Amino acid sequence: MAEPTTPRSFQEIILRLQTYWAEKGCAIMQPYDMEVGAGTFHPATTLRSLGRNPWAAAYVQPSRRPTDGRYGENPNRLQHYYQYQVLIKPSPPDLQDLYLGSLRAIGIDTDIHDIRFVEDDWESPTLGAWGLGWEVWCDGMEVSQFTYFQQVGGHDCHPVSGELTYGLERLAMYVLGIDHVMDMPFNDPDAPIALKYGDVFRQTEQEYSRHNFDTATTDVLLKHFEDAEAECKHILDQAADDPKTGKRIIMAHPAYDQAIKASHVFNLLDARGVISVTERQAYIGRVRALTKMCADAFVQTEAGGADAA
């Protein structure tokens, strides 16, 4: 194998991952156009991990965690960051090797680094999902999550999907040798207009931190949560047969959008500090109930592996 070269920028790492997984046969998808807490929320993972149809997708997903906002000052923490997500169903027998190939592709020489698979059971209470796998360590640094999905939306996964999640900023900082995320070259450092991560995101981190922590109107958010919850149920309450077209159309995805919305609003409310410990569990349960309903609906559809009516 050719000596891997070291990438020079954040975007080069993303591009190399895209190229690598495209070569390995994944459909390279685009980010989902909604606010989500992690790449797993993208319907290309959550919904597509359900049912018997094979699937292979990879994509970048901007992710938001309002409570992690640090006004752009913390070297490692951001309220908005990127995840790279790969989902292959059924999980191929050589998924670990494929994964290690992706590390080599972004310039990690596995001959001089110490790569380890350390036990980490994954669970998402809001998605009603869990799986077994590892966090992958490179010289003691967690560079990815590696999970075999066992259950999603309360449904057993058959076949099982293998999911890889790379925390892109952290991984890129490691590969590029950067100590503060805002100092990381976003594009090529020799480009005519060289941009650092901070040039792109420092200001937005400040703005969103202030908004998330102090400004977001909680009454409005509470209303949004309830609206999204009601809308999700409303969508799924519709009969499967569309009276207008006469076709069987179960609206799993539009309903799931509402579940995603409710989940993000909950995260904002959490950042605003208006949710007590006991209420927290109740809200998580409400979001889980929504995702479960969406999962129930999705497995009734063709993409979800149901026989065509």
Partner 1 sequence: MPDLLLELFSEEIPARMQGKAADDLKRLVTDGLVDAGLTYASAGAFATPRRLTLTVEGLTDASPTTVEERRGPKVGAPDKAIEGFLRGAGVAREDLVEREEKKGAFYFAQVTTQGRPAADIIADLVPGVIRTFPWPKSMRWGAGSLRWVRPLQSILCILSDEAGAEVVPFEVDGFSAGNTTEGHRFMAPGRFAVSSFEDYETKLRAAKVVLSAEARAETIWHDATNMAFAAGLEVVEDKGLLAEVAGLVEWPVVLMGEIGEDFLGLPPEVLQTSMREHQKFFSVRNPATGRIERFITVANRETADQGATIIAGNAKVLSARLADAKFFWDNDLRIARDGMGDWREGLKNVTFERRLGTQAERVERIAALAREIAPMVDADPTAAETAARIAKADLNSEMVYEFPELQGVMGKYYALEAGLAPEIAAVAEEHYAPLGPTDDVPTAPLSVAVALADKLDLLTGFWAIDEKPTGSKDPFALRRAALGVVRIVETNGLRLRLDRYFDAQLVRHKGALIEDVQSEEVVDLLREIADHGVFGAAFRAVVETRGKASEGLETMASQVPDKSDDLLAFFHDRLKVHLRSENIRHDVIDAALSKPPTDDLTLVVARARALQAFLDTPDGENLIQGYKRSANILAQAEEKDGVEYRYGADAKFAETDEEKALFTALEAANAAIAPAMADERFADAMAEMAKLRAPIDAFFEAVQVNADNDIVRRNRLNLLHDITQTCGAIADLSRIEG
Positions that interact with partner 1 (CB under 8 A): 75-76, 90-93, 96, 110-119, 121, 131-134, 138-141, 148, 150, 157-160, 162, 174, 276-278
Shortest Å, Cβ 236 to partner 1:
28
Task: Tell me how far, at minimum, the Cβ of 278 lies from partner 1, in Å.
Answer: 7
Name the residue nearer to partner 1 (CB basis): 75 or 254: 75
Q: To the nearest whole angstrom, how small is the minimum distance from the Cβ of residue 139 to partner 1?
A: 3
Residue closer to partner 1 (CB basis): 69 or 162: 162
Question: What gap in Å lies between CA 50 and CA 158, rounded to an integer?
Answer: 7
Output phi, psi for 30, to 5 deg: -100, 165
Q: How far is the CB of 187 from partner 1 (least distance, A)?
A: 24
CB of 18 to partner 1, least distance (A): 25
Residue 162 or 185 having the CB closest to partner 1: 162
User: Distances from the Cα of 156 to the Cαs of 47, 146, 236, in angstroms?
Assistant: 12, 18, 21
Judged by beta carbon, residue 159 or residue 198, the one nearer partner 1 is: 159
Whether the CB-CB separation of 270 and 132 falls below 8 Å is answered with no
- Of 88, 86, 96, 95, nearest to 117 by C-alpha is 96
Structure tokens at 127: 């998605």
Amino acid at 256: Y
CB of 196 to partner 1, least distance (A): 19
CB atoms < 10 A from the CB of 250, how many? 22
Burial of 95-127, coded b for 16+ CB within 10 Å and e otherwise, reads: bbebbebbbbbbbbeeeeeeeeeeeeebebebb
Residue 28's SS3 state is strand
Residue (157 or 232) nearer to partner 1, CB:
157
Looking at beta carbons only, is 178 or 287 nearer to partner 1? 178
